[in-house]
């Protein structure tokens, strides 16, 4: 090809507006092994398929590159800012480096679209798309010639829905190709299929997903299928386009597809080449007798046949069977069975749980796989990841409860009455700080109420203050396995970022360290306030909670008693008295504690006019032990640590006030018994006399009942009111000491603990609801749930180095706090199935609502409202490069202590389980190892202190599944390490429990981790780099991220440089 040099020079000097793109790039030729020959900065101008290289903007063009028969790949050393042009002619590659990532991507798009091959492919694609939608367009044009009345009667276009089972995917199919034709005879194909959807209403081509890449065969059988979730708008009229690509270099594939808009096809010059494509209507597949289509693959111009593609409709309730010798290929991973459909046993039923479960889960991402078993049969796996609405619902409910609790506490502090100047100033300071904290909670709740985005918090938002109560990347990861000779099985894992206060940071450590340090400092508060132990402070909160709960109940039952007396109803009177007696006994029992007595004494000394004594210093452990030995002796009075004593205070006064409640109740009971006895005698006598006289007697007696009971009930209420007033003030004074001893650290620690607990609780509620729905038909599990409780196992992958050590401390405390959460299952009275949260800090009850049909499946104990206990355990093993630093140069004591403590909790749960449950309630498919042996093995691995001992995680997960527990997997953001762990666990389950063929383990793992199978994503949709859009969670479980190990030499160099930087910073 000849060029006129003068014409090219003239073209290069045209104004800037005449070029497709121009700018500065560093350019050089690439020699072997990606070695560069000193890149030099050049001014580059792109016009059509010509790239002009100039020394500067005003100089002459020094070189012209013709962009034909070339393609673009990423330069491995600098993947974000550089690309390489590769030429089929064999001339040296051209290296181009931009100033920024954005500039590099824009050049990649411009250069890729510059050659004539790309333009021809684009034209052919547009022509093909026009032909595909021509039939639909013609029907719309015909409507223009109809009378307006007929047009109105036609209304909106109606599409035929696909018949399906509720809550099941609308459409699923598997793919395989045969007799693919390579561009050259000697080339072995590395192929994958890209699936696109043409929506009938919009006539827009949308990329949906892709299969994995199958290497080295012309007859690829793809293990990754295609599935459309229940909410996806797909109809019989929908068209599906299948495009087959040959990947030139697998390592370079999908490097730059993320910069393409959704409506554009991947270019043939970025490491892949177009082989052929075909299109079919959904109706053709679902209505075919054999539920299979064999389609011809053709080139873009529609003239040349390049092979065939088989589309098989998949139903999880059916089996695929066949003989392995029907297909053999030259690829080692391609020996697979033929597909034959046959009837199978019914799969897992979950139809009844749809309304309540859909209220919790949304936006599912589904994946479909088929893997061969060791006996040459097929098993099908449906993988689903879903968001949960509980990510925001639970924190908002919690914050609302925090606001009510704090407002009630502030009012109780104000109701303490008149205090001495020292204590009054302390109270004013505490209330001022509490009001600031209360305002912060209210602002956070208001901001969360405005949130209208996705139903989960992505990792890029973990540092936002308004979202600090929201868990990070909370999702359900579910694997549904359908095996030829085994029952269908569900395996659920809740994935979530480690519960931690990311906005507050970890400069001073996490909650575990901060709480220990705060408690030590609070013991040495001197004369400022009175020290109460954390146990006594928690007891004070419990007493206040009981008062607020029981006082209204007792008052209402007393009114019911009087109402029954006025109506002269003996049965109603007995029932009302019984309820009044039970609640009053609970009320009296709530004050059987030395804390109330000692707090009243402390409050007496804080009143004006009472000389303030020097508070005693906290006693040592020996003195405390001596008190514990004699605490039950009547002559020994155990006093609260560091409480002042006053000689004029009558300590027996509280006993008299407290005892008056019981005496008043006894008077009421005696009067009711007397009235009922007289009524029985009167009815016996009057039955023998005139009935009319008896009626008059009954009416008169009814008036006497009310008049005789009324003063006794009023006395009971008055006595109870006096007890409530004194007890509230004394317990509020205890809380005043707790807050005053550590302002403002106490409130900041409370805030941090609330944040961590909110994140942990949202995940726990999600896990409990999912587990409850999955086990509704398992009577053994339901018996275990109300008899023993539910085991909740957290798998932590955090390192013990730098900030992640603080995260681990937060996480450990947050998960430990979940022990105080109780669950209760109730029947839903409306269509709102979201859980209801009641209670206070350190004592929450989660009410899970079920529809009537599901509620009837529960045991009577659960239906009667029995509270269900949770047993959370955490096992952590750091696996990233930071853990390597911690193990070689740092400290792993935190991880070892956490694992040891939680091992003891796990053993306690197992002991309780074996004592209360029959042995046949264990899952039948988990019998290959003995639970006791697994626990012993776990104990040995924890004691071994082996580096990165991932065996701990596998053993803990196995024990959890054997005990019908809920599994959680957590790392910093629930992305890389979490995805690696979950996919490895899933494939290991398939191998150990469902006989996955050993030769396909690695390939199955690659399929589940492959990002390619999810289709090309926009960079803004990548959870690694940005926030998610369109309310669709990007599956972070479907792409691999290497867990890097740093060599010892690099670690030493890194450590020296870090120390040098730290010394320079603090000098």
Which amino acids are annotated catalytic? 971
Q: How many CB atoms lie within 10 A of CB 446?
A: 11
Residue found under tokens 């290991």: 988
Rounded CA separation 810/328 (Å): 54
Give the CA distances from residue 553 to residues 556, 582, 669, 718, 969, in Å, rounded to whole numbers and listed in that order: 5, 11, 18, 15, 43
Query: For residue 689, which of 700, 698, 701 has the smallest C-alpha distance?
Result: 698
Rounded CA separation 280/387 (Å): 32
Q: Largest Cα–Cα distance of the chain, in whole Å?
A: 136
* Dihedral sign, Cα of residue 214, residue 220, residue 224, residue 229: positive
3-state SS, 606-653, equals CCCCCCCCCCCCCCCHHHHHHHHHCCCCCCCCCCCCCCCCCCCCCCHH
As beta bridge partners, residue 97 has: 26, 82
Give the H/E segment covering residue 421. helix 421-450
Give the H/E segment covering residue 385. strand 378-388
Rounded CA separation 631/535 (Å): 16
Residue pair 171/237 in contact by the 8 Å Cβ criterion? no
DSSP assigned state of 92 = P
In the three-class reduction of DSSP (H, G, I as helix; E, B as strand; rest coil), residue 191 is classed as: strand
Token pair of 335, please?
Answer: 């020996």
Residue pair 882/804 in contact by the 8 Å Cβ criterion? yes
DSSP assigned state of 187 = P
Rounded CA separation 596/290 (Å): 79
Query: For residue 223, which of 232, 207, 211 has the smallest C-alpha distance?
Result: 211
Rounded CA separation 390/213 (Å): 37
Please, is 842 exposed, middle or buried when counting C-beta atoms within 10 Å of its C-beta (0-12, 13-18, 19+)?
middle
* Dihedral sign, Cα of residue 797, residue 800, residue 804, residue 810: positive
As beta bridge partners, residue 47 has: 50
Residue found under tokens 């007891």: 539
DSSP letters, 973-1025, are: SSSHHHHHHHHHHHHHHHHHHS-B-GGGHHHHHHHHH-SGGG----GGG-TTT
Rounded CA separation 1063/1067 (Å): 6
Query: For residue 661, which of 582, 584, 574 has the smallest C-alpha distance?
Result: 584
Please, is 241 exposed, middle or buried when counting C-beta atoms within 10 Å of its C-beta (0-12, 13-18, 19+)?
buried
Residue pair 801/882 in contact by the 8 Å Cβ criterion? yes
Rounded CA separation 167/170 (Å): 9
Rounded CA separation 969/795 (Å): 5
Rounded CA separation 245/251 (Å): 15
Token pair of 760, please?
Answer: 């942990």
Residue found under tokens 């706090």: 817
Angle at which helix 594-605 crosses helix 652-686, to 10 degrees, equals: 130
Checking phi first, is residue 271 left (phi over 0); if not, alpha (psi -120 to 50) or beta?
left
Rounded CA separation 357/771 (Å): 11
Rounded CA separation 397/738 (Å): 26
């Amino acid at each position: 090809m000849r060029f006129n040099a003068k014409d090219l020079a003239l073209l290069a000097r045209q104004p800037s507006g005449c070029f497709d793109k121009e700018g500065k790039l560093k350019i050089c030729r690439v020699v072997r092994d990606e070695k560069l020959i000193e890149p030099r900065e050049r001014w580059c101008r792109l016009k059509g398929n010509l790239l002009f290289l100039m020394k500067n903007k005003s100089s002459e063009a020094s070189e012209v590159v013709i962009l034909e028969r070339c393609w673009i790949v990423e330069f491995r050393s600098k993947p974000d800012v550089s690309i390489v042009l590769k030429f089929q002619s064999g001339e040296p590659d051209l290296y181009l480096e931009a100033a920024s990532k954005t500039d590099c991507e824009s050049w990649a798009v411009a250069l890729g679209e510059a050659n004539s091959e790309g333009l021809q492919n684009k034209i052919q694609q547009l022509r093909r798309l026009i032909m595909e939608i021509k039939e639909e367009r013609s029907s719309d044009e015909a409507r223009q010639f109809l009378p307006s009345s007929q047009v109105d009667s036609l209304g909106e276009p109606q599409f035929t829905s696909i018949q399906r089972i509720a809550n099941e995917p609308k459409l699923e199919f598997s793919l395989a190709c045969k007799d693919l034709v390579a561009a050259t005879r000697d080339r072995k194909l590395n192929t994958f299929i890209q699936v696109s959807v043409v929506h009938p209403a919009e006539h827009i081509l949308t990329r949906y997903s892709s299969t994995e890449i199958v290497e080295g065969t012309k007859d690829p059988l793809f293990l990754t299928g295609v599935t459309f979730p229940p909410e996806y708008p797909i109809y019989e009229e929908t068209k599906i386009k299948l495009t087959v690509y040959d990947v030139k270099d697998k390592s370079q594939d999908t490097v730059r597809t993320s910069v393409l808009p959704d409506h554009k096809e991947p270019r043939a010059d970025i490491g892949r080449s177009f082989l052929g494509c075909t299109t079919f209507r959904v109706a053709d597949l679902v209505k075919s007798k054999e539920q299979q289509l064999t389609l011809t693959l053709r080139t873009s111009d529609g003239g040349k046949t390049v092979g065939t593609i088989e589309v098989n409709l998949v139903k999880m309730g059916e089996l695929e069977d066949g003989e392995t010798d029907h297909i053999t290929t030259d690829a080692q991973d391609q020996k697979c069975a033929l597909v034959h459909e046959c009837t199978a046993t019914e799969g897992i039923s979950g139809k009844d749980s749809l309304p309540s479960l859909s209220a919790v889960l949304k936006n599912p991402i589904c994946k479909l796989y088929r893997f061969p078993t060791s006996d040459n049969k097929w098993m099908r796996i449906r993988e689903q990841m879903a968001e949960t609405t509980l990510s925001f619902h639970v924190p908002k409910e919690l914050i609302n409860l925090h606001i009510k609790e704090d407002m009630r506490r502030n009012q109780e502090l104000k109701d303490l009455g008149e205090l001495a100047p020292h204590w009054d100033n302390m109270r004013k300071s505490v209330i001022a700080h509490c009001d600031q904290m209360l305002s912060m909670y209210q602002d956070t709740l208001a901001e969360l109420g405005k949130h209208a985005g996705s139903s989960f918090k992505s990792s890029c938002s973990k540092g936002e203050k308004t979202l600090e109560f929201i868990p990070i990347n909370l999702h359900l990861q579910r694997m549904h396995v359908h095996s030829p000779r085994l029952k269908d099985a569900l395996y659920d894992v809740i994935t979530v970022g480690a519960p931690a206060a990311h906005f507050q940071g970890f400069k001073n450590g996490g909650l575990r360290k901060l709480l220990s340090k705060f408690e030590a400092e609070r013991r040495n508060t001197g004369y400022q306030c009175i020290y109460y132990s954390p146990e006594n402070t928690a007891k004070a909160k419990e007493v206040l909670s009981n008062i607020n709960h029981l006082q209204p109940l007792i008052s209402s039952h007393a009114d019911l008693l009087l109402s029954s007396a006025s109506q002269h109803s003996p049965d109603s009177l007995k029932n009302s008295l019984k309820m009044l007696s039970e609640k009053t006994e609970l009320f009296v029992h709530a004050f059987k504690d030395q804390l109330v007595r000692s707090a009243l004494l402390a409050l007496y000394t804080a009143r004006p006019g009472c000389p303030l004594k020097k508070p005693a210093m906290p006693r040592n452990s020996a003195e405390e032990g001596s008190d514990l030995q004699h605490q039950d002796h009547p002559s020994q009075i155990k006093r609260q640590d560091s409480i002042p004593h006053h000689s004029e205070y009558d300590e027996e006064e509280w006993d008299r006030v407290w005892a008056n409640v019981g005496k008043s109740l006894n008077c009421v009971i005696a009067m009711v018994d007397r009235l009922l006895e007289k009524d029985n005698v009167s009815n016996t006598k009057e039955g023998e006399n005139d009935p009319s006289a008896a009626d008059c007697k009954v009416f008169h007696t009814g008036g006497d009942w009310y008049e005789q009971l009324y003063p006794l009930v009023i006395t009971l209420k008055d006595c109870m009111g006096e007890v409530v007033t004194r007890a509230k003030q004394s317990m509020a004074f205890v809380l005043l000491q707790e807050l005053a001893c550590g302002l403002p650290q106490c409130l900041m620690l409370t805030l941090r603990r609330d944040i961590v607990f909110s994140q942990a609780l949202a995940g726990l509620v999600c896990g409990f609801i999912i587990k409850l729905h999955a086990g509704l038909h398992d009577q053994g599990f339901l018996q275990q749930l109300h008899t023993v409780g539910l085991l909740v196992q957290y798998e932590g992958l955090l390192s013990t180095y730098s900030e992640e050590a603080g995260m681990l401390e937060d996480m450990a405390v947050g998960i430990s706090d979940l022990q105080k959460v109780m669950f209760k299952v109730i029947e839903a009275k409306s269509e709102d199935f979201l859980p209801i949260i009641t209670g206070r800090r350190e004592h929450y009850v989660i009410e899970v609502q079920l529809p009537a049909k599901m509620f009837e499946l529960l045991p009577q104990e659960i239906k009667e409202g029995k509270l269900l206990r949770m047993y959370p355990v955490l096992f952590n093993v750091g696996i990233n490069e930071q853990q390597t630093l911690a193990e070689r140069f740092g400290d792993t004591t935190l991880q070892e202590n956490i694992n040891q403590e939680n091992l003891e909790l796990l053993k306690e749960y197992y002991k309780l389980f074996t004592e209360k449950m029959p042995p046949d309630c264990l899952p039948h498919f988990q019998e290959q190892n003995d639970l006791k042996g697994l626990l012993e093995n776990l104990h040995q691995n924890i004691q071994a202190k082996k580096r990165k001992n991932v065996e701990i995680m596998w053993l803990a997960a196995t024990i959890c599944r054997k005990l019908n527990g809920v599994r959680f997997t957590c790392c910093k953001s629930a992305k890389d390490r979490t995805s690696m762990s979950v996919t490895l666990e899933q494939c290991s389950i398939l191998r150990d429990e469902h006989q996955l063929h050993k030769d396909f383990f690695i390939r199955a793992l690659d399929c589940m981790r492959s990002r390619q199978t999810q289709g090309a994503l926009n960079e803004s949709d990548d959870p690694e780099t940005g926030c998610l859009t369109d309310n669709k969670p990007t599956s972070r479980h479907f792409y691999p991220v290497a867990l890097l190990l740093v060599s010892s030499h690099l670690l030493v160099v890194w450590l020296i440089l870090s120390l040098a930087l730290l010394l320079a910073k603090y000098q």
